[in-house]
Chain A
C-alpha cells in the first residue's frame, strides 16, 4: 500500500526533513510514527498524501508514484486517502453533515446518494445526532470525529492522521483512538503520527520512530530489515 524507498526530503529553504527513509506498509496495517517535533513525522505524511514530493528516492502510495504525479492525478490519489489533522480543518460555516458531504461533492458523487453515505459515516463515528450542528457547537473530540467521518466517507484505502489527538483531553483521545482502531479493523491502513507514547505502548501496533529525519527504530521489521 505504501512504500518508501531511500527517500530524502530537503525543503527549498535548505532544511533537511528526511534522510534515506525506507519502509513498507502492507494492507490492513496500523502504523504509529513517533518522534520529537521536527523528527520528520509530518513530512512522511505530507509525502503520502502528495502535499510534498520527495527530493530523492521513491514514494509509492496505492499504486501511484508520488514524484511522478501530475496535477490531475493528485485529486484522484487523495480521494483514495483519508487525512486527519490535529487542528481538525473543518469548514466553520458548514454543518457537520455538510462538512462530511463536501468530501463527496468534490468527487462528483451523485447528489441523491450523498445524504445516506454521510449519515452512515456519522453513525459510525457516533455523531448522527449532531448532523445539523456547526463545528463551533462541538467539543474538540467531536470535531475530530467529524474530521474522521469526512476522511472515511470516500471509503479510503489509507487513513493518514497527523497528531489527531494532540488537541484533545484524555477521554476524547481514547475515544478517537478507539475509532481509528475500528476503522483499521475494517481493513483500512492507518498511519498515525503521535507524541503520545502511552497510546503507542499498550497497543502492540507497528511503531516507526524518527529522529533527525531518519528512522531509528521500526518494530515491524527484523534485524535484516524484513517485515516481521
Chain B
C-alpha cells in the first residue's frame, strides 16, 4: 500500500478519469486560445502603430546666417532634451541634395538654381515613449524658443490622429480582452465545477472520516493548477499553429507579423494556472459548504 501525497492523489485523478480530465484541459486550452488569438491581433496592430509612430519627427528650420557656434551650442542643448532619441543638423546643401534625390518630379527645377532656397534644419527623432502629440508639441515649443529658429513643423494633424487611433485601439482592446477573459473564466470555472461535482461523494466521505478542509482542498488545487498549466501550453501551441498557417497564407506581407515573446507566453500559462487554481478553490469551497 502506497501512501498518497496530495500531488500523487491529484495525478491519479488524471489516470482515473482521462476523458473528463482531457476535456477540462481542452476547454481551458480553447478558452485561452480565443484570448491568445485576440492578443495576437492586438499585438500586431500595436506593432504596426509603433512603426507608424517612428515617423513622428520634429523639424526646426534655422534662419540663414546663423553662426556655427550657435548651431553647435544648440545641438548640445537639444540632444540633452529627455524626449530626443536622435538629432540631425541638415545644412542647406544637404537639404538641396536630398530634394534632388527624393523629389524626382522637381529635379529640373532644382538643377539650375543660382541660390539655394532651402534652409538648414534640425531634424529631431523622439524616443518611443514620447512619440505622441503632447510631447511632440512640447519639443516644438522648446525649439521655437531658440532665436534663430524660423519655423517648427511636426505634422500636428497626423500625430494627433495617430494618438486618437492608439487611444481607441487600447480602449477597444481592453474591453474586448476583458470580455474574452471573463468568458474564459466562466467556461473554465464551469469545467472545474463539473469535475468537483463528479467527486462530491468522495468529498463527503473524506469529511465523514475526519479530513480537514485543507486536506480535501489540496489535491483539487494541484489538479486545477496542472490543468491550467496544460491548458495554457495547449493554447500557446494552437495560437502558434494558427499564426504559422496565417503567415504562410499571406506570403510576403506575413513576414512582418510577430508572435508572442517568452514573457507573453509565460503570462498566458500563469493566467491559465491562476484560473485553474481559483476555479478549484471556489468550487471545492462551495462543495465543502454543502456537505
B1 touches A75 (CB 8 A): no
A66 CB to nearest B CB, Å: 15
Known: A71-B213, A106-B215. A89 touches B208 (CB 8 A): yes
Chain B contacts of A91 at CB under 8 A?
202, 205
A93 touches B210 (CB 8 A): no
B209 touches A103 (CB 8 A): yes
Say yes or no for A98: interface residue by CB 8 A criterion.
yes
Question: Bound state CA distance, A106 and B215, in angstroms?
Answer: 7
B210 touches A107 (CB 8 A): yes
Known: A72-B212, A75-B211, A75-B212. A106 touches B206 (CB 8 A): yes
Q: Is the interface of B mostly helix, strand, loop or mixed?
A: helix
Say yes or no for B16: interface residue by CB 8 A criterion.
yes
Question: Bound state CA distance, A78 and B209, in angstroms?
Answer: 6
Say yes or no for B111: interface residue by CB 8 A criterion.
no
Say yes or no for A79: interface residue by CB 8 A criterion.
yes
Chain A contacts of B212 at CB under 8 A?
72, 75, 106
Enumerate chain A interface residues (CB-CB to B < 8 A). Answer: 49, 71-72, 74-79, 83, 89-91, 93, 95, 97-98, 101-103, 105-107, 111, 114-115, 118, 131, 150, 154
B3 touches A111 (CB 8 A): yes
B1 touches A118 (CB 8 A): yes
A98 touches B210 (CB 8 A): no
> Which residue of B1, B207, B208, B211 is within 8 Å of A115 (Cβ)?
B1
Question: Bound state CA distance, A102 and B204, in angstroms?
Answer: 13
* Cβ-closest chain A residue relative to B212: A75
Question: Bound state CA distance, A79 and B201, in angstroms?
Answer: 19
Chain B contacts of A101 at CB under 8 A?
1, 3
Chain A contacts of B206 at CB under 8 A?
102, 106
**How many of B's residues come within 8 Å of A, CB to CB?**
17
Question: Bound state CA distance, A150 and B207, in angstroms?
Answer: 13
> Which residue of B3, B202, B204, B208 is within 8 Å of A105 (Cβ)?
B3
> Which residue of B3, B201, B210 is within 8 Å of A106 (Cβ)?
B210
Interface string of B171-203 (1 = CB under 8 A from A): 000000000000000000000000000000110
Question: Bound state CA distance, A106 and B210, in angstroms?
Answer: 7
Chain B contacts of A93 at CB under 8 A?
16
Question: Bound state CA distance, A210 and B147, in angstroms?
Answer: 106
Question: Bound state CA distance, A58 and B208, in angstroms?
Answer: 22
Question: Bound state CA distance, A71 and B214, in angstroms?
Answer: 11
A98 touches B209 (CB 8 A): no
Question: Bound state CA distance, A91 and B206, in angstroms?
Answer: 10
Question: Bound state CA distance, A39 and B208, in angstroms?
Answer: 23
Chain A contacts of B3 at CB under 8 A?
101, 105, 111, 114
B1 touches A102 (CB 8 A): no
Known: A89-B205, A93-B16. A76 touches B210 (CB 8 A): yes
Sorted nearest first, the 4 A-B pairs with minimum C-beta distance are: A106-B211, A78-B210, A111-B3, A79-B210
Can you report 25 residue pairs joining A to B where beta carbons are below 8 Å apart?
Answer: A72-B212, A75-B212, A76-B210, A78-B207, A78-B209, A79-B210, A83-B209, A89-B208, A90-B205, A91-B202, A91-B205, A93-B16, A98-B4, A101-B1, A102-B206, A102-B209, A103-B209, A103-B210, A105-B3, A106-B206, A106-B215, A114-B1, A131-B1, A154-B209, A154-B210
B33 CB to nearest A CB, Å: 32
* Cβ-closest chain B residue relative to A89: B205
Question: Bound state CA distance, A150 and B205, in angstroms?
Answer: 11
Chain A contacts of B207 at CB under 8 A?
74-75, 78
B209 touches A150 (CB 8 A): yes
Question: Bound state CA distance, A102 and B8, in angstroms?
Answer: 14
